[in-house]
Structure 1
Amino acid sequence: MFLRPPPAPTKQTWLWLAPYVAIGIFSLAMLVVTALLQWREQDTALSALEGDMHWAERTIENRLHAHQDFLTTLGREQEFRQLSYEAFQVRASRYVRDNPEIEAIIWVSTSGKVEWVSPNETTATYVGEQLDATRLLALQEALRTLRPLFSENYPNAAHQPANDLILPVQTGSADIGAFIAIQSLEPLLRATLPAAFTTRYSLSVVDAEGREVFSNSSVKPTDRKISGTISLDLPNNRLGLNIVAYRSGGAWLTFVPAGLIIFLTLIATGTLVQLRRHAHHRAATEEQLRAAYAFRHAMSQSLITGLRAIDLKGRITFVNAAFCRMTGFDEGELVGVAPPYPYWPTEEFERLQHNIDQALAGQAPAGGFEMRIMRKSGERFDVRLYFSPLIDSNDQQIGWMASMNDITEPRRARVELERAHERFVTVIDGLDTAVHVADVETGEILFANQAFQTIFGFNSVGQNSALLTAACRPAAETLIVDPAKLGVDDLPCEIFDGELQHTLSGRWYHLHERAIRWTDGRTVRVQIAADITDQKHIDEINLQQQKRLEQTSRLITMGEMASSLAHELNQPLSAIANYCAGCIKRMQAGNYRFEDLLAAMQKASDQAERAGKIIRRMRDMVKKSDPKCLPVSLPELIDETRAFADIQAQRSGTQISVLMPENLPKIVVDRIMIEQVLLNLVKNGIESMADVPFDRRHLSIQARVVDERMLEIAVADQGHGLAEEDVEKIFAPFYTTKQDGMGIGLAICRSIIEFHQGRLWVEAGREGGSIFRFTVPIEEKET
């Protein structure tokens, strides 16, 4: 039942309004006069602020243009390669010292790698550092537009706001890098604006979206009414400088006149308000009660949770709309009903009666009852029912309040989740790879499969991972990242990927470890260890077989050249015999001079040394030794290879030429192995030209530097070349294009080159024939 509102007394309303109107007009007039006086004072201050703002804007922009001009000068000299590192250090250090807002001036490559830094003692950056994504994006934009620009703001090493002034540099039409001035914004304002300016105004730098970058207004209160903004239109980075005047006195002085007027007005109107409020208090209270009841009723009817109230004997006294929707019964069919309720299934009577008896006795569990009830249509569904005492306004219990939630779908999902978990655990336990998950901070093992427990011990869940896996755990210095320093944004990431030997069992494992976010939000380490002991044993056997093949290949090569070497050795041995016989005849005849005998014996000695070199080279080629990669002179290595190859080349009428640039760097290789590769390729090239005319039998050996790490060697012949299908198979073991070939030479050559981290491939020559190319590492230069 709603109360009818009282009629509005028109005459009394006007009597109440008259004093309010009079007081309001007087107060408004006084406030207007006060506001006019304060506005005039503020207008004067704003005029002074505007002039200071224009001066500050010109001063800051001139200083920034000066920095840009200095970088332009450096860039112009760098463009023509006229700027040395020492000159850069001297000039840049002096400029940084004269401009405190410049933290450092650096020279970066087009990829964002820092190559020069001035001054050397700066903490802003270091040589070899890679620009982060924000700064690298600005660098790429500058190189694309070929215009100086500023990067977005970022915190420097001192956690102060800073940005980069980037000047791209080109040589011809190629980008070679950029000069970057790292400038801190706060020192820029201190160095640009005098102390008299900063003592009068609060300064704050804001970005293009109006967010404050930093401010110096934390010392004195500021007057926001006397303020302005300077827009610094920097290329690619719009900054603004908010200038706010400091107050000459406390903020409260501005509001004293208005406060007094308002205070007196409130005192005058307060009495009138209290008189009228008393008259309307009772009506307002009744209206609040009606509104509160309507609100609570609407709230209970709007809930998706079913609500049911019963008295102390179990009789239903209230049900909400959600409860009726769940059961399918109307409110009139439920209110006043005692157990058994109409929504109880027949097969569940006994259990449901036990639950209601337990609830009426005050023994309902805190987690509620999980039960099965039925709708009016007979459909069964699962619910959870929570009980709480129903207390009246006198703190007396008058019954029990129950909330009911339909858990049919959550229960089905939970069952499916349990089954999925069971399937997952079954699959993981079926693996022969050890898998476990451990907390990064505590080291507690959260999950471990059967293979892990077989290796490291059963009942491992809950134990410390570091202690349990100490026998097969990577050292901290070998980790890619420190797991303890990982944040949420860094996940997932790889921690370790390599091979380790179990110190107790001696078995080898391939360990792969990643950091991920666990189901409860914490960071964990997932470690997968695969037993590779048998594979390593197979690899060792294959390596031994490979070494035997290489040794066999060298022996085969030497065997094929044995007749040529015998012919080559016959020449110095015959010369030695002739020189010795001539000396003996002259000495027997007594017709000799000492100088003639000395010259003949010297020639015999030279021929003996020549024969010794041939034998030593052959011995080095065939002897078995472990690979030793040392710096080797490529010209010397090619000369030694030609000493073998020239014998076969002379017999076949093949001309061998060597084309190499001067001052080639040394290569880091095993001399004998690379000599074997060269000899094999040269020998194959000579044999491929057996059917071509003599004037075309020409083989060339060329070398060039590919990059700062690798050198390329090419062996080109003028033979019959290779068919397209042979190019794909030529390096396969036991595949040959020769009638009497074994097919292991080129396969061994590729293995040797890959052992040196190089690459071996074949190309068709422009004028016929084939070009075999391979790369080997260059000796690193000391810096």
Structure 2
Amino acid sequence: MKSGRWLLWGALLLLTAALLSVLVFLAAEYELSRDQAQLEEDVATVAGDIRSALLRNVQTLQSLHSVAPSPNAWNAPASELLQTHREMMRLEWRDAALQPLSVRVSPFTPGVFDFLGREQAQPEVVQACEAARRASGPAYSASYFWPMRDGKGLELIEMCLPVAFAGKPQGMLVVTYALSGILTELINRDLMRGRGLSFNEADGTRLAIFSAIPANRRNLRAQTVLDLPGHTLILQLESPRRARGLFPNVLTAVVGLLSLALLVVLFLLGRDIRRRQRAEQDLANALAFRKAMEDSLVTGLRARDMSGRITYVNPAFCQMVGRRADELIGSGPPAPWWPPELVDEYQHRQEVRLAGRYFPREGFESVFQRPDGTRFPVLIIEAPLIDAQGEQTGYMSAILDLTEQRRIEDLNRATFERLQATARLATVGEMASLISHELNQPLAAIASYASGMLNVLRDPGVGSLSPEDQRHAIERIAEQAERAGRVIKSVADFVRRRDTEREAVPPASLIDSIYPLVALQAKKQGVRLQIDIDPNCPPVLCDRTMIEQVLLNLTRNGIQAMPMGDPPAGSGLRVLGIRVARASPEPALSPGRAGPAWVSFAVTDHGQGLSPEVAQRLFTPYFTTKADGMGLGLSLCRTVVEQHGGALTHQPAEPRGTTFRFSLPVTPI
């Protein structure tokens, strides 16, 4: 296996050396073609830069004339323009006959036309301006050589631009460019490092040079045509050749065969490497997964050999017993975490368990001790440790710290006991609140009847009552006392959430039972009662006492919502309406029921109504808008109605006030 791998490696090295030799030649040719392509791209970029710069100059001249339409105003900005554009040698404003109106000369080359007069270049100016007049745009003349003093000279070119103001022709702007200035000022000089750039004629004669490199037949050259309106220039870029010599031609077949042989060897070698890497990666992943899993566990893990010595512990176990891994690995019984007085017991238990090799599935509880003397309960679950050959090499233990579990159990036990006591106190408080709230009305009625009787007995001259009236008053007192007893019983059953005894009660009987109390309170407040009971209403199935209390609460709230003076006595709104009629079942509460199987009770007052804030919290326990209210009435009313299967709702009344409505089920036939 190893010899075969070495042969593959040797073949790979030989093929790689041969392939590299071929690739050197191909790389040299590729570098040459790439350099030539890059050079051609760069010369095209330089030509584009020059063309764009010249176009920007034309736009600048047009804007210059638009802001300075007169020669006097034109002189200052023209001079400023020449200071920022060194490629311009001279700037002239000529009339339609090409006579100068204003002339500005570049401050950088003031003596260009000192040796020969400007009139010597008149043919080129005329040529450019005639072409510009025909094209109605900028035009360039042919380049020409202009001699200077001391045997020097420049290659110049004229550009003529027609100008107009307010739609009227204003003559021509003539710009004299130096080709060397164009190369110097209008190109990206970073591209010219180590290269030569020049303007050439078609026969290769150089007109202007920006930079030059030593002449060499190995230099790379690239040319492009710079098309200007009226004239064309040839731009040439030279660069030294980077290739170092030439290699003989190499047949494509040799490269193909070498590449194919290399691919085969690489495939065979790669397959072997992939197998090994896959096996190593799987092993590394398994080890990393096991390590991450063991390190993340809160359960302590401990491995021991057949003699009971520790061979492995995870971080959770070390943290549990308060010792480092290097202190634990290799140690045997007695363990350092055993309490001193329990060492003999634990030693005997371990010997018995390991000798019989019996490990209960549910584990066993024990007590460990940390170095600081702290003791804590643990649950130990052990199992045999089997190696890859299926032989037992030791024992694996999982240890759970039960300290938190014991604490939570004690806390839950104490919390449950407190909740039971609190629930009993809450029930007692709720019953007391309900009884005190619901007994107010029958006790108030008893007190009222008793006060009337006492007034008659104390002062017979004030008014006389017949025996029948006296008997009637005493019967009313007895009824209200009996009613108070029923209230106490119903409230107690309600608080205990027991099923109350329901009976078939005619709706009119419910109204008649509360009428004396409602009428008495309405008379005191100056409110007129308006009762409308549908004679066709069937009996309802309800707890009579609790429903009477609901009606009493709603009517009392309605009367209190209309205090004296609001609404005014003459408005006709000081009326409390009680309406009883048949109603259809509410779909949300009685799905599937069809037909008029419910009776609706509505209590309407004409008070100020409910604000949105009050309406939102109206049925919240202990929420009240009254100074002496307890906030339990409407909450209890809704609970009672919902226990009967209905719902207590409210809505605005017209023209003002509020209507409270609830439904009770009809007694089944």
| Superposition TM-score tier, normalisation by shorter sequence | 0.3 to 0.5
Rg larger in structure: 2
TM-score (norm 2): 0.34
